[in-house]
Amino acid sequence: MKKIEAVIQPCKLDEVREILAKSKIPRITIFEVKGAGCQQGKPKQYRGAHYIEDSVDVKIEILLDDDEAERLAERIVTALYTGELCDGEVTIVPVERVFRARVGHRGHLVSSWEHDSAPSYLMRSSTSLKSYLKTLRRKFREAG
């Protein structure tokens, strides 16, 4: 199991999400992060005063099988590339174990993460999140 960590510009988030949706990635985590690389923020000026504005980036974390990680990382890098500074950064990190607090699995081996008791709408199946939400809305209307 591998974890892809991608730090990207906020304007590229929708493009990366489309790639993840086409690849049928069920679980992603998105963070808003600040960092200081070689640029150390953008110089700004307000009423004659100069200051450095930290840029806000987006960090995405994705857990994948070993064989899928390299392929998906390449697709993300291709989408991020503009040739300019601060295009983004994609890292692939090995993962040993996954612990699921909600379902009570402890010391769960990563190789069987797709076979645990997570909800079916989160798993790789023919049921999409869209149809799951549609079903929930219908049930809510019937109940109320």
Residue showing tokens 């590339």: 81
Could you tell me the two tokens for 80?
A: 């991020």
Comparing 55 with 70, the larger pLDDT belongs to 70
Band of pLDDT at residue 40, cut at 50, 70 and 90: low
Whole-structure pTM value: 0.62
The string of pLDDT tens digits covering residues 73-132 is: 999 999 888 887 777 889 999 988 877 777 766 654 444 444 444 444 444 444 566 676
- Closest by CA position to 35, among listed 16, 56, 14, 65: 56
Q: What is the CA radius of gyration of the chain?
A: 19
CA distance 117 to 114: 9
Q: Do the Cβ atoms of 104 and 47 come closer than 8 Å?
A: no
Residue 61 has pLDDT above 90, yes or no: yes
The matching CATH number, chosen from 3.30.300.30, 3.40.710.10, 3.30.70.120, 3.30.420.270, for 2-95 is 3.30.70.120
Q: Do the Cβ atoms of 62 and 3 come closer than 8 Å?
A: yes
Mean pLDDT of the chain: 76
DSSP codes of every residue in 59-126:
EEEEEE-HHHHHHHHHHHHHHH--SSTT-EEEEEEE--B--BTTTTB-S-BGGGGGGSS--GGGSSSS
Q: What is the mean pLDDT of residues 4-31?
A: 87
CA distance 61 to 50: 35
Residue 48 has pLDDT above 80, yes or no: yes
CA distance 98 to 86: 32
CB proximity list for 106: less than 8 A, separation 6 or greater: 99
Provide the pLDDT for residue 38: 59
Kindly list the domain boundaries of the chain, sorted by start residue: 2-95
| Residues above pLDDT 90, as percent of the chain | 14
